[in-house]
Amino acid sequence: MKLSIRNIVLFAVNLLLILGFVLCCLLYHSLANTFLEQSVAERWRGDNETPYAQVSAFRPESEALRYQDIYNIRKGIDEALVSVSLDPEANDMLTTDAYCAVGTINVSSSKTKNVQTTLYAVGGDFFVFHPLKLESGNYIYEQDLNRDLVVIDRELSWTLFGSVDSVGLTLTVDGRDYIIAGVVARNDDFFTKQVDQTVSAIYMPFAAVYDYEEAVITSYEAVMPNPVKSFALNTLESLVSNAQLVENSERFTLGKISDLIFSFGKRSISTSGIACPYWENAARLCEDYLALIAVIAALLSVMPLVCGIILIVRAYKALRTTGRRVANRIREKY
């Protein structure tokens, strides 16, 4: 077939569109793997053959969870696992969770007085869910016996001590001294930078900040086996009422992003009064970008797909015509 200038131009345009589609796919994959906070299920599962899921629950301060609620949720999760023949007591690594209360607090050191900073009162395996980069030292965990250990970010370390190397030093909160166990760097990805306006932060054991009666928990996260589809999501939904639930382990899949595209605008309408933490807002912003990339990729693929279908139809017709000619010649000859 003789190539005309029109065909050459059409080929070049389609080639560019296909290249653009491939670049969109690569960008989608890169952005979908930005957040370690959204892939805890995969990391916690390890070599276990049972599927796992990560689910988050967010509630407004007016209906915040109390510490007793955390105990009841954990108990309910264990009972749900037993009902599907998974015994948490036989394997204490089946599940893990984290919870958090966010506020502001004044912190001081021997060098600096009354610095206001963002407080994250954390419980469970918070740093398993949010593995902020350690500049020095170690994370803190709920099972630690020492409730006087805290983690601060590098900004607060510089403000209080003029250095990032502050592990082992002492700071004061509400007249009580705490020892710095670790210094972390906050996430610096594009999405977090857009939504996190925190100047500095301190991460303290939940039990060191609140007593069990006054604890106000607006964020709860859990990882658990997911032997059947939506088992983990349905389990947490039955245990945490009036909450906004997210199945983190699937949120960046093309199926979920497609649902977001076809329900465009609905997520902006909210009457729940829930103020999500920065990591959830960053993930939602990423979802919006992924939706945009998916739409662009779909538009870029339209013309190559149409041209491909036309070529296939033409090739099919040409083969049929050639086949008929060959058949006619064979009949004429024999």
Q: Kindly report the three-state secondary structure assignment for every residue of 193-236.
A: HHHCCCCCEEEEEHHHHCCCCCCCECEEEEEEECCCCCHHHHHH
Computed from CA positions of residues 293, 295, 301, 303, in that sequence, does the dihedral angle turn out positive or negative? negative
- Within the chain, which residues score under 50 in pLDDT? none
CA neighbor of 248 nearest in space, from 236, 240, 239:
236
Cα–Cα distance between 275 and 62 in angstroms, integer?
A: 11
Predicted TM-score (pTM) of this structure: 0.85
The pLDDT value recorded for residue 213 is 54
The pLDDT value recorded for residue 103 is 87
Contact 318, 46 (CB under 8 A): no
CA neighbor of 136 nearest in space, from 176, 180, 102:
180
Residue that has been written with the tokens 């900073």 in this structure = 117
Backbone φ and ψ for 275, nearest 5 degrees, come out as: -100, 100
Residue that has been written with the tokens 């599907």 in this structure = 84
The pLDDT value recorded for residue 46 is 81
Cα–Cα distance between 94 and 81 in angstroms, integer?
A: 9
Sequence-ordered alpha helix ranges (H) in the chain: 5-32, 40-45, 67-83, 126-129, 154-161, 190-195, 206-209, 231-239, 254-262, 278-333
In this structure, which amino acid lies at residue 48?
N
Cα–Cα distance between 312 and 314 in angstroms, integer?
A: 5
DSSP 3-state assignment of 86? coil
Cα–Cα distance between 210 and 161 in angstroms, integer?
A: 26
The pLDDT value recorded for residue 223 is 95
Cα–Cα distance between 85 and 313 in angstroms, integer?
A: 54
Cα–Cα distance between 85 and 81 in angstroms, integer?
A: 6
In this structure, which amino acid lies at residue 81?
L
Q: What is the DSSP string of 219-280?
A: EEEEEEE-SSTTHHHHHHHHHSTT-EEEEGGGTTSHHHHHHHHHTTTGGG---S-----HHH
The pLDDT value recorded for residue 15 is 93
The pLDDT value recorded for residue 197 is 83
CA neighbor of 297 nearest in space, from 23, 10, 31:
23
The pLDDT value recorded for residue 93 is 81
The pLDDT value recorded for residue 272 is 62
Cα–Cα distance between 128 and 44 in angstroms, integer?
A: 9
Residue that has been written with the tokens 């013309």 in this structure = 303
Contact 88, 97 (CB under 8 A): no
The pLDDT value recorded for residue 57 is 93
Contact 240, 65 (CB under 8 A): yes
The pLDDT value recorded for residue 120 is 93
Computed from CA positions of residues 136, 142, 145, 149, in that sequence, does the dihedral angle turn out positive or negative? positive
Cα–Cα distance between 298 and 305 in angstroms, integer?
A: 10
Cα–Cα distance between 204 and 153 in angstroms, integer?
A: 12
The pLDDT value recorded for residue 276 is 85
The pLDDT value recorded for residue 208 is 83
